[in-house]
Chain A
Amino acid sequence: MSLLKGMVRIANRAFPATTARAHCDIPCGIYDPHLAQIAALTTVRMNQLINDLPDHPGSRTDGSKLARYTLVKEEHAELVKRELRVLWGDYFKPEHLEGHPDLNTSVWSALKLAGKVKQEANLEAAEQLVAEVQKIAEIFWATKGADSKRQPSLQGPVGGEIVYPSPK
């Protein structure tokens, strides 16, 4: 059986299947900065949990927790980057810059901060990331012609605020 599998593997390598795209480029036009905010808030919570661990985790349980918190922190920092890239690249347009000239700087610094949050166990950077994403969310809702307000996240110990739209 392993011989057969090996032969199949060699055949697959020598004659690989070409990708045929059954793709869809239709823009759905639905964008929302909410997911970026939730992901940024998650990185704050993961940093809090990491800080709650002993400085030198000795037990397997602590080691396992540190690994899980770090993994989730990095995944959500990457999610923030992805969401912001989609908003910046797909939704925002040059005319939005006229009313919000600091938009590019905000997105740029949020992406840098998200990178820092990935690399380090840095609660301060995660909190700065949340603040920067909130600014972008407010700009987003302003370009949609809606007011926005910051409300408590009500997400337990992580605290913080989330920007919600409030139609005029």
Chain B
Amino acid sequence: MNLFRPLTNHFPFARFLVAGESMEPTLAPGDLVVAIRIGKRRPPRRGEIVVAKDTENSALHDVKRVIGLPNERVAMAGGAIFIDGRRLWEPYPIRPKVAPHSEGEWKLSESHYFLLGDNRSFSTDSRQKGPLDAHLLVGRVWLRYHPWRKRGRVHSKAWVPEIR
């Protein structure tokens, strides 16, 4: 039990230990990252990796990447992602290219985000669980400090031409 938890819940930064493979190759199991707590002044941007509370159990946290923003229409077809009909450009490595990506279309409400794992074939995310409400988002992953050889800022840019 951590007696400092009520205190640390209000820190602007939080440390997280990554468990599971769904964010590979960007984040591997065992990586330690620092996340900046998400406030009202700076909502998450597309491409950023975020830590969010589980929809069913708020004590559990998931780490995924922001793909769709509020009020957008996200579509997945033929291995590509489309935001409001325009193809999403993802410069970070995702895995794997060979597996078929999901097909589907989701219309996001004014408070919902669409999150995906980078390991697209092995990730449980908004494709199965649906878009996530903004109040469940805890922090955006800023940098990794363990393992030391992989230290540094986590790649977090993605954009759609014309609505960049």
Contacts and interface: CB of A to CB of B under 8 A. Distances in A.
B124 A15 contact: no
Interface string B1-16: 0101000100000111
B2 A22 contact: no
A72 B29 CA distance: 27
A17 interface: yes
Interface in B99-141: 117, 119, 122-124, 128
Contacts of B21: 22, 24
Interface residues of B, number: 31
A22 B17 contact: no
A16 interface: yes
B45 interface: no
A22 B19 contact: yes
A23 B19 contact: yes
Interface residues of A, number: 13
B81 interface: no
Contact of A21 (B2, B8, B61): B61
A18 interface: yes
A2 interface: no
A24 B118 CA distance: 11
Contacts of A18: 14-17, 61
Nearest to B124: A25
A24 B16 contact: no
A22 to B, nearest CB: 4
B22 interface: yes
A20 B19 contact: yes
Given A22-B27, A26-B122, A16 B2 contact: yes
Contacts, number: 71
Given A14-B4, A17-B32, A22 B20 contact: yes
Contacts of B123: 22, 24, 26
Given A23-B62, A23-B124, A26-B122, A17 B22 contact: no
A19 interface: yes
A22 B117 contact: yes
A21 B24 CA distance: 12
Interface string A36-56: 000000000000000000000
Nearest to A12: B15
A15 to B, nearest CB: 6
B113 to A, nearest CB: 16
Interface string A61-93: 000000000000000000000000000000000
B76 interface: no
Contact of A17 (B17, B23, B62, B128): B17
Nearest to B3: A14
Interface of A: 14-26
7 contacts: A15-B2, A18-B15, A19-B17, A20-B17, A21-B19, A22-B18, A26-B128
